[in-house]
Amino acid sequence: MSTQPPRPGRFLVLVTLLATALGPGCVTMDKEPTIAPDAPVEFFRGARKLRGASMNTIATEAARTRASGRMDVRAVERVAAKARPAVLSIYFKTKQAARVRLLPFNIPGLGIPVSLPGAGLGSGFIIHEDGYVLTNAHVIRGASDHWALSATGQELDLEVLAVDPVFDLALLKIVGTPGPFPVIPLGDSRKAPVGSWAVAVGNPLGLGHTVTLGIISQTGRHLSGVKPEEGREISFIQMDTAINPGSSGGPLISLTGACVGVNTAGYIEANGISFAVPTTQVKEFLNEVLEGEQPAP
């Protein structure tokens, strides 16, 4: 199975990987913008047909989130095998803002502004057999020409439907390839308590479909300092499951195979501190897509 993106070329991806320290869980050369806590969900043309549809049109609900009984030695192996076909390695093209200096030393504000080509990578996963895909907003922010590789190496084109800049979520759809597709069902993150096992699958450093295991360390982590009256914020799941650059947008999965969160960031200066957006907020975002104001024809 190839883990290299087929379009930008191996050299460009290797250059991008040298910039992994620039992003928390997504490999990109773009500078991340400041997001206002009251920023609205952004809708794109393809989202128009979803207005008024039910949740089961775009997402699959898990029958159970929390496993019962004792954990056997093959539990994680089964979860990984079941999830693997529905996890995607996402690639995209970017433009990095930079300045070309004409002097051998740096003077702030001087220089010719240019836009340099780059490439980035992240993760995503299919939540409905019709090809609806979840990832992080920062995985695709400022990017073009999105595509993905499946676990079997199949190349898939992606259309962006909606982006929530505050919850750092994006809904995409596979286009040009008929389904049905394998899915990871959405569970209830409220039923994944502190101390429960958490399996992450993603595309760290472009290595493709890597599985890591840990536990949920804490829930309800508010890291932005935003007050309720000021706007929304992510109520993060904290875990010690390893999340590395490129893992952003992949699923955090319970031992029943249900998604409980979308992996978003790892704290680079610490060991075993990573964060995921809980599925309670994923469903808020999806409901906004189904009920919110759509773009004009």
Asked if residue 220 belongs to a domain, the reply is: yes
Which residue from 233, 242, 235, 250 is spatially nearest to 267, judged by alpha carbons? 242
Instruction: Verify whether residue 68 is a known catalytic residue.
Output: no
State the residue range of the domain holding 157.
39-291
Distances (CA, A) of 112 to 94, 105, 108, 294: 19, 14, 12, 39
Domains of the chain: total: 1
Instruction: Verify whether residue 146 is a known catalytic residue.
Output: no
CATH number at residue 227: 2.40.10.120
Question: What is the residue-averaged pLDDT of the chain?
Answer: 82
Catalytic residue among 123, 248, 254, 274: 248
Asked if residue 110 belongs to a domain, the reply is: yes
Which residue from 239, 245, 246, 242 is spatially nearest to 276, judged by alpha carbons? 239
pLDDT at residue 295 in the model? 53
Instruction: Verify whether residue 38 is a known catalytic residue.
Output: no
Distance from C-alpha of 194 to C-alpha of 187, rounded to nearest angstrom: 16
Asked if residue 296 belongs to a domain, the reply is: no
When pLDDT is cut at 50, 70 and 90, the band that residue 250 belongs to is very high
Asked if residue 25 belongs to a domain, the reply is: no
Asked if residue 100 belongs to a domain, the reply is: yes
Asked if residue 62 belongs to a domain, the reply is: yes
Q: DSSP per residue over 276-290, as a string? A: EEEHHHHHHHHHHHH
Least confident segment among 27-36, 65-74, 213-222, 268-277: 27-36
pLDDT at residue 22 in the model? 31
Which residue from 23, 74, 82 is spatially nearest to 204, judged by alpha carbons? 23
Q: What is the pTM of this model?
A: 0.82
Exposure string over 26-57, b if 16+ CB within 10 A, otherwise e: bbbbbeeeebeeeeebebbebbeebeeeeeee
Residue 196 burial class via C-beta count within 10 angstroms: exposed 0-12, middle 13-18, buried 19 and up: middle
Asked if residue 150 belongs to a domain, the reply is: yes
Catalytic residue among 30, 128, 138, 247: 138
pLDDT for 170-183, tens place per residue? Answer: 999 999 999 899 99
In the block, tokens 């004009």 appear at 296
Asked if residue 26 belongs to a domain, the reply is: no
Q: Which residues contact 32 (CB under 8 A, 6 or more apart)?
A: 23, 138, 141
Cα-only R_g, the chain: 19
Catalytic residue among 123, 168, 217, 274: 168
pLDDT for 79-125, tens place per residue? Answer: 999 999 999 999 877 665 555 554 454 555 556 565 545 567 899 99
Three-state secondary-structure class, residue 35: coil
In the chain, % of residues over pLDDT 90: 54
